[in-house]
Amino acid sequence: PWDTPADDVIALDPDGIFFSNGPGDPQPVTASIEAARQLFGKFPIFGICLGQQMIGLCAGASIEKLKFGHRGGNQPVMNLRTHRVEITAQNHSFGIVFPSLGALLPQESGGIDSHPNDLRFWVENGIAPVVSSKSHGRIQLTHVNLNDGTPEGLAFLDAPTFCVQYHPEAGPGPTDSHYL
């Protein structure tokens, strides 16, 4: 359940932890956010949709309500690592603010040292930028929504943690996201 304490999860000695999708605004799910904080770095973690937002909050990200929510099974997302477009299924109104995770590391971000206003800048330049988080090490932006330039995926480079904002299990691609 969403409010399972981290100690209960640790007692299970899982191979990995999955933070799933869920309803609405992630701010009220404080129990899950606190569990994510306590479990980070101890186990491999994967999150989707609300799970990405909780992992982002755990790492210090700000959350914003999107001007237009992402709905339906035809949302184009660029994988910045492979430079391939994935057709994704989404159903959410909130998202993380990538620059709030930390300062860009120019040596790992194509020499760029300041955050652009639109994350599609990274798509246009073929770069998967990396920020430095005070609490969570290096975090790479891995996916960007091509419709509005919002962050769609993160990889924590110093811990076995990654997340995407969409629903890879929905398969609208139909196999675009199977690697996840």
Mind listing the pLDDT tens digit for each residue in 127-173?
999 999 989 999 999 999 999 999 999 999 999 999 999 988 877 77
As a whole number of angstroms, the distance between CA 59 and CA 1 comes to: 21
Catalytic entry in 34, 49, 64, 86: 49
Given the DSSP bridges, would you call strands 130-133 and 17-19 parallel, antiparallel or unpaired? unpaired
Q: What tens digit of pLDDT does each residue of 42-80 get?
A: 999 999 999 999 999 999 999 999 998 899 889 999 999
Residues 6+ apart with CB under 8 A from 174: none
As a whole number of angstroms, the distance between CA 127 and CA 124 comes to: 8
Q: Cα dihedral sign for 171, 129, 49, 23?
A: negative
Per the CB < 8 A criterion, the answer to whether 49 and 151 are in contact is no
Catalytic entry in 64, 83, 124, 169: 169
Active-site residue flag, 163:
no
Catalytic entry in 70, 115, 136, 167: 167
Active-site residue flag, 167:
yes
